[in-house]
Structure 1
């Protein structure tokens, strides 16, 4: 497999109104591909995909509170904060109509950014994500637990207990990543550090609690945007690509997105679950670079 010359990667610290965002840029041909992550992971979910994008300008970044980005934001999450972070990255790198890739909760971020700034976006690629209510939409049990305001105190106690937290994360990993546990897999690389921290980053507990607390209010806001007809009127290319083995953000959710963006193109990625960019990077790269 070809890979980027890591020495050619450029690291940026981009200032936003809430703190500094860590950005990694790989030089290459335009238009740039800008990739967002969801919760509770970080930009390392694209580690397998980046070599497949050889030759294209590719940008990944960690949202505030995650990965190597700043931890000095004031929580709770404010409406539009994640879109502002994305906009700050695009502006700092002076990107002209990039392709925005939204995965998981990063999907609503790129969609809302494109709706507000349609002339600044060259296209959207939506990977195992959602927007608004969908008849088949499910969230991992742990995420729903964290998002329920009635269970906030219990959730705080669970997160504070390493043994119970570990059991919850293992349960979720088994559902999202079919097959035997992989100590070198995506979970160990990009998810566990958000909860426990590691030698390169502190934990992301405050950011996780803030973003999950905003989940259902944000979906209500997305439903209001859907009702206005904004999504159907968006005049940029939209590609929807879903790993077929995702038990939560499933084929029905992909179809719902296609209904919201009637001119969109839908791809299914075989032998992939919630993170097709990790499970099947070559197939995912074909979809993204074709946008």
Structure 2
């Protein structure tokens, strides 16, 4: 499979973001990551999309992965939306398919609301957007999202041992309903991506802490935009791993009810379905 890509760095004022661009045709899939990880969560999915002939762009939000992590930077959902727009503009992508996983759901949906001329359709993979009756957030995220616990969470971030313990607890919870093969691959592939995000210096800790602290505010803000989401007259594919204990099937059903042209695809996978079953996720995205 052709997995050659061009690398770009795009200036965002307070630092530059790292982008990989795989050549192909059609509206480019622009793949976005979530709170604790980076673009490498798509390493197994990208070859299948490229083999399908499509252009694929994947990038790290500012503060994550190979993007800059400048001291004192301010991170927000608004900034991530700006990162996406900067990628589209800098690469001259025209119409895209924003693909949101986990906490990049808001960037995918809000980009379509604010820049409809740039969006062909949307894919959401076990993501969130607005407040949802069945939503349950991972304990790690809930902890960091509870703003009156900031002194505690900052102390945890300053202690690699304590943070590692919390990460390991969360990892075991995410794996509870995976198959044995999926658990083994999770440990071998995803574990090092998340660990590296926080252990390598400069760390993604500040971006993670700032983003999670804004979670509930963002959900409330987007809940007020539900009419604008309903007004989107484009296809939205909801591609969901059915054993995700947190961003569960109920969230997918709720989102489906708020969209004009949704299609819901439930697959035998967990939260990181693009890692568990990349071939099946690609087939749904490509409409095979």
Unaligned runs of 5+ in 2: none
Which residue does the alignment assign to 2:23? Answer: 27
Contact 2:37 2:64 in 1 (8 A): yes
Matched, 1:185 2:208: no
Q: Would you say 1:37 and 2:33 are equivalent positions?
A: yes
What corresponds to 1:110 in structure 2? 108
Residue 15 of structure 1 pairs with residue 11 of structure 2: yes
Equivalent position of 2:280 in the other structure: 283
Aligned CA RMSD, in angstroms, stands at 1.6
Q: 1:31, 1:74 → 2: CA distance?
A: 36
Output one character per residue of 1:223-263: Cα deviation in whole Å (capped at 9) or x when no partner: 1112xx11111011111010001000001000011011132
3-state SS of 1:80 partner: helix
Shift in Å at residue 220 of structure 1? 1.2
Is the contact made by 1:75 and 1:210 (CA closer than 8 Å) also made in structure 2? no
- Alpha carbons 1:28, 1:58 under 8 Å: kept: yes
Count the aligned residue pairs. 280
Q: Report the TM-score, using the length of structure 2 for normalisation.
A: 0.93
1:266 is paired with a residue whose SS is: strand
Instruction: Give 1:170's aligned residue.
Output: 168
Q: CA deviation at 1:204?
A: 0.6
* 1:237/1:264 contact within 8 Å kept: yes
* Unpaired stretches in structure 1, ≥5 consecutive residues: none
Q: For 1:266 and 1:290, how far apart are their aligned partners in 2?
A: 13
SS in 2 for 1:68: coil
Quick one: structure 1 residues 143 and 99, their matched pair in 2 at CA, closer, same or farther if it must change by over 3 Å?
same
- In structure 1, distance between residues paired with 2:14 and 2:222: 23
Q: Tell whether the 8 Å contact from 2:99 to 2:125 is kept in structure 1 after alignment.
A: yes
Post-superposition Cα deviations, 1:130-181, rounded to whole Å, max 9, x if no partner, equal 1111111011001110111111011111122222211111111112233455
For 1:254, the equivalent position in structure 2 comes to 252
Please state if 1:220 is matched with 2:224: no
Q: Deviation at 1:78?
A: 4.4
Q: CA deviation at 1:73?
A: 6.8
Match of 2:151 in 1: 153
Give yes or no for contact 1:101–1:127 (8 Å, CA) kept in 2.
yes
The answer to whether the 8 A contact 1:77-1:214 is kept is no
The TM-score, its normalising length taken from structure 1, stands at 0.92
For residues 104 and 164 of structure 2, the distance between their equivalents in structure 1, rounded to whole angstroms, comes to: 25
